[in-house]
Structure 1
């Protein structure tokens, strides 16, 4: 038997924090060596952090990466263990995303990434070039400092694999796992048995099964051992990298790491039987035939063995059942870990949340409460780093440390109910009850006097005083009065966040949390610079539907019982006066339900539907529920507000990315132009007199006036 012990890891790297990143890399290698591993794989760009963005364009970033690698190779860490180290490298003035294979204090091979991720949240082509030369190695001249330090002048640079005396090893990098015609296939036909994937894959609701399926499929089709490593945590942006490093053999997962964790490093080790891989491949006639015809791929030969000598007590690791989280758990744990990283890295002393007693702000409060629970759980499990961070942030003295999530929340979480004459006793009571369950320092503030002062100033300037619609005012007056309340709350939130720590004798400041969801952002149903404007927002890309499911789950599993009552209450902004004949409701104000809005968002972003294709899709989806004329009016109504509110999207609070249907700002312009182009061909004006349930003539769907109106609404944003 050829038994090989291998290690992969999750690392909590932070963009441009070279000292911390190198420390985590070293710890992971040490842990892998202690476990007896002969191979260790780390995440993509682990030295610099994945989210450096335009810092990758700085020469200093590459220079510091080489300095870290020099530090690593100057020690005995790489003795007797093959390590893949992720870092950027410049070759002939071209920057590449690379894995550097190191063994015995030498660089064995440098493998540049061949398929770059450049859609969704990824923009690798902005910083890197893909390696395109598959048929030769370049003799890469190492930097002088590195060369002098390790007594090595150059190293092979390019696409190929490492051939040891008893095993062939090759690399893939993140995106290459998911591409058609993956380099893995040709490598497998050339006899490569172990594949090492360094990844920087972010969390997204319901995404893990796609990743695991790809890893299982990668080894099921061609056989082999697959080591997958990933970042874990927030590295300074809106993404949370959700770890879940794993090891797969011939389509079976034999080891899986955590998806959500506060740990700095997590190392996963397994024993794999390479003879099982050979047998698996040899049993497939199609594999044998294709392998016999495959062009030869370049290799770097290393005269040494990696496999274990035969010992009875060393046995291959058995397949395991894969752990998947429910979406409600993902909403709880992903943003919680993201918030903790922001808190411990920002220098802030805690969070402040305008808590209205509604579903959105209550969901954010519950996530902060969940964060406190995770911190306490890790402290109880003996995580000294989490304990040290909690002591520092919570300002504990004389050897004290947090022992209860409520007590920790009291030290680092303010919630503020900012009520007006339009607020109800029910929302005030719900906010107070939830704050008590979480343990936050809760404030109940009436802001009518501030609003009245602003209106008096306005009256002095203009001689007029606006009225609400229910009192006979115009739409402009009504909207202005609502916006004043919302914006006053934003100003007060930031004032309290900066001064309340001082009031209580604490250092630093608090980060203000926002609580607008992705559906409201898509529709533009929010006031620009109101209390949705904050420092960060943990639910900014979560739909209302998913948030309500989360509230039900959290009421039970986080033991915040008041969330059940909050979830069942109808959503309302409470910005207009309550009358016996009128009560403000969000869905009435928007002119669509949250369920409909969620459907529009998925069709627009995930299925890339403009107005024409959205109308066509919904005619089928809502057949028997709405007539084509009603569908057309709904689509028109959505795109009207989607277009006129684009300006709001440019100032949205940085939000945790949880859904592919969220709104990445760099791509707004493309989306608007696409919608404009489609509208010019005519689409969504349908009269009930011309269209029934029969065949639809799309040439008759829009009259000239409506077409021009909708196009103009979009063009003014361009």
Structure 2
């Protein structure tokens, strides 16, 4: 599945006690091996400790440090893990602050620090020199000859390509990791000694996350801990693992034990992002530099327990505070987009078909926000409810009450007689409840809405959402069509939270109560007659499958281009307490078939704003032939 598990570690240290430090480094490696980790990053100068001061100029300490590296190499002979450990290294009578990269008994390379801080509390230039060129030399150590020494080394194990930088390298204007990523590295390790100051934690965390986003990589960060010298500074042992802008794992700082954190990196995700990002590819074309590639092979890429968090609802932020911010932002995007369209056309009125369902409710909420922005009267929002054969009292009353409470101009136009006449015109038996029976109603409603919009010099607001467009769950030239579609890139799973957010924070009280009842009404087009009790018979998710599954498939298929096997695997992890593998596979096959066969509807979509990372606009994000085969994807 192209996952790899990586670790960041902070061992207990004693200043200038190499033997003690080596033993604790080994204990951290053992922990990482039990986690099935394939790479572990230690803090800067962790062999000696960072805060040795002028002791770095003592030959005895430098010799002990090299002996420690040799000991780690011997220790690692049967260890299937890449180890990056910090230590000083003397080359041509010059001292460098380095990352020593070890794998299965061999020193694969030495990466010197490029940027040496010499300001505020840092005065490293007293001892160390920064790497001045991108050239790689071959150096000889007492225990191993011809070891690559340089900044442009990529350690290649196939899909995973590792590279390293050290502390200050991340804090400069253009970090070396930016170039290393352009040269192919997708997992960057940073061996750091970042002291703790008030609020520095937040800056450091943002820096790691943003660099992983800019470089489209995983960034594994390890900083020195509380056992460094506290003569003038305190180090907290901050550990972070980030992937393309997201923090996957982080520790609690100020720990007093050997500590590691681990995370599972999705290499396919990084590859997908790099493939689709044209600016990233253009950067590669502008940058060329000599590179030393060191190849090695893991015995196994088994990751053990799959403990990477997979959200059931990838379109929806898991944290409530973030979710509220996201909802507010989406409503602002939708409302501002509609406001621009109204100003451009000169229209003062809009028409919305209101069913008492989620989608039309969200479109109405957006229209209300737009009219607040433009300072236009709410009665200029013309809401039309069009009861038909399957309309239930619950949806009808919610539609009427919501529009009345919001102060819109409400119209009711019953479509039953018009549909019966149309059945007669086309020779359709109304007792046959087939697709013709359903689509006649959908197109009748759209015709009414379009014509009423013409009558009032208004524009018709579309209500259909991203999930329906992905599945083609809309009537061509029926609810598929409008003059501006505000929900076109909002998936069904997110619409629920948008309506809930509006109920709780934007329109509380009586209107909020109506919105909450709409929220808990089964999703249905209400095109089939209701049952004897007057309840909904036609429940969409009973027919095409759960929207939460379809949104999950849509996200990973369109956003990252994952194959069936990986999407099914991820769905199994996310929904392990909800659906069996057979159920997940069944609805995936429905999704793929419908996604391909219904592209012709998406090829003829009206305008509408993109609000998230996935959009199916034929003019922008998704350009697909209407007659493409799904055989290779099912």
- TM-score (structure 1 length as normaliser): 0.42
- Greater gyration radius: 2
- TM-score (structure 2 length as normaliser): 0.47
